[in-house]
Chains A and B, each alone.
Chain A
């Protein structure tokens, strides 16, 4: 008994000694272990789970903002296009096409020569032109007025259609004839002129002219179109006003021609926004 008592006292002393010297307390370790584990768990969970989710949330937020911004831009652009005066647009398009046709229109060339000559009391005695390869309604090639067929070359931005014309009239009206030709539509340039003046005040004028045309079509990406592209600039407006003041060909040569807006082809336009 005494020995047992001594042993237990000894153990208690050792435990006390340990507690006093080392601060080691098994119940303390147990009690603090769980909260520490909890803290470690929270840190790990934050790194592994929470932060990636926060990143995803941030990406979704940015995507959302971008979608809202894109939608706003599309709506603004649609509104701007809708506000364009369609009638004015067509009139301007007509003017531009009259100035620089996109096809080699014989009737237009005839009208462009006939009207100035009538106004200046000249008459068109002879006309010679070579339109190059002109495709008929059947799709076969047609020769030009003088039996020449030139092969189609690589399409240039602005093409020239050479025409030779002979006018006869009063010499005093010669300058007026030239002026009327140059200030009318479609645009032309006089390359050669030979005017012979007779005693009777008559003048025979042989002109080599070029008419200008262009088959160019606008190609653009609707997605990348800017707000500036949706309105005419000041220079463009000024030029169209200038064209409006020039002599526009009229008469029997033009009543069949339709320079107004051609309706869209029956096949629907491809959706430029489709991914395929």
Chain B
């Protein structure tokens, strides 16, 4: 392949290079300037649009808050209900219910028992009564021990007129 013959003298080559450089730099400057102008206009336009949107949405938010405020009475009622329900649950959990425990004890006393008194204080129950015979006492004791009532104490208070007096003390288990 033959080399191209550069007929241009050195001075002209340099000038040509300079002209090329000038052209490129000018083009770059024009493009950058145009780009800057374009993005500036875009930014300014977006800025004004968003400012307007923010104002509109602030107004809409205030309207929705007003709508929410209208239901504050209902909301108050609901929150008070939830609080009270929570307190009721706490109360029901913590209170000591006598009736199921008393029922258990009375059921365990069995048939033929004649009660004289029942005393209950705090968590301790005392039942005094009369049984028809000694075997009933043993049977009662057996039944009481089978159940996990708490601390159970059964006393034989003696026999009178053929009947056996007893005193039952139960300290119920706490919840």
Residues of A within 8 A of B (CB): 16, 19-20, 23, 25, 28, 31-32, 34-36, 38-39, 41-42, 45-46, 49-50, 53-54, 56-57, 60-61, 63-64, 67-68, 70-71, 74-75, 77-78, 81-82, 84, 86, 89-90, 92-93, 96-97, 99-100, 102, 157-158, 171, 174-175, 178-179, 182-183, 187-197, 212, 214, 216-218, 220, 222, 225, 229-230, 232, 235-236, 239-240, 243, 261, 264, 269, 271-273
Chain A's nearest CB lies how many Å from the CB of B104?
11
Closest residue of chain A to B75, judged by CB? A81
Contact for B64 among A74, A90, A93, A216, CB less than 8 A: A74
Given the interface contacts A78-B71, A225-B75, does A212 sit within 8 Å of B91 by beta carbon?
yes
Complex-state Cα separation, A35 to B26, whole angstroms: 5
Chain A positions within 8 Å of B118 at CB level: 174, 193-195
A-B contact pairs, 11 of them (CB 8 A): A20-B10, A35-B26, A57-B46, A60-B50, A92-B81, A182-B97, A214-B84, A218-B83, A222-B75, A239-B88, A261-B77
Chain A positions within 8 Å of B72 at CB level: 222, 269, 272
The segment out of B31-39, B138-146, B147-155, B157-165 that lies at the interface is B31-39
A67 touches B57 (CB 8 A): yes
Chain B positions within 8 Å of A229 at CB level: 79, 82
Given the interface contacts A63-B54, A71-B57, A232-B82, does A178 sit within 8 Å of B98 by beta carbon?
yes
Given contacts A42-B35, A100-B91, 6 further A-B contacts (CB under 8 A): A20-B10, A67-B61, A74-B68, A157-B90, A182-B97, A183-B99
B61 touches A175 (CB 8 A): no
Chain A positions within 8 Å of B40 at CB level: 45, 49-50, 53
Given the interface contacts A75-B64, A182-B99, does A56 sit within 8 Å of B121 by beta carbon?
no
Given the interface contacts A32-B21, A78-B67, does A56 sit within 8 Å of B73 by beta carbon?
no
B64 touches A61 (CB 8 A): no
Contact for B74 among A41, A70, A89, A178, CB less than 8 A: A89
Query: Interface residue tally of chain B, by bracket?
Result: 35 or more
Contact for B98 among A78, A190, A230, CB less than 8 A: A190
Closest residue of chain B to A31, judged by CB? B22
B173 at the interface (CB under 8 A from A): no
A61 touches B50 (CB 8 A): yes
B89 touches A42 (CB 8 A): no
Chain B 107-122: CB-based contact to A (< 8 A → 1; otherwise 0):
0000000111111111
Contact for B32 among A42, A192, A235, CB less than 8 A: A42
Complex-state Cα separation, A245 to B98, whole angstroms: 19
Residues of B within 8 A of A (CB): 10-11, 14-15, 18, 21-22, 25-26, 28-30, 32-33, 35-36, 39-40, 43-44, 46-47, 50-51, 53-54, 57-58, 60-61, 64-65, 67-92, 95-99, 102-103, 106, 114-122
Closest residue of chain B to A225, judged by CB? B75
Chain A positions within 8 Å of B57 at CB level: 64, 67-68, 71
Chain B positions within 8 Å of A92 at CB level: 81, 85
Given the interface contacts A189-B95, A193-B118, does A99 sit within 8 Å of B88 by beta carbon?
yes
Complex-state Cα separation, A212 to B88, whole angstroms: 9
Complex-state Cα separation, A195 to B29, whole angstroms: 108
Complex-state Cα separation, A230 to B76, whole angstroms: 10
Chain A's nearest CB lies how many Å from the CB of B31?
10
Given the interface contacts A42-B32, A71-B61, A193-B118, does A239 sit within 8 Å of B89 by beta carbon?
yes
Chain A's nearest CB lies how many Å from the CB of B28?
6
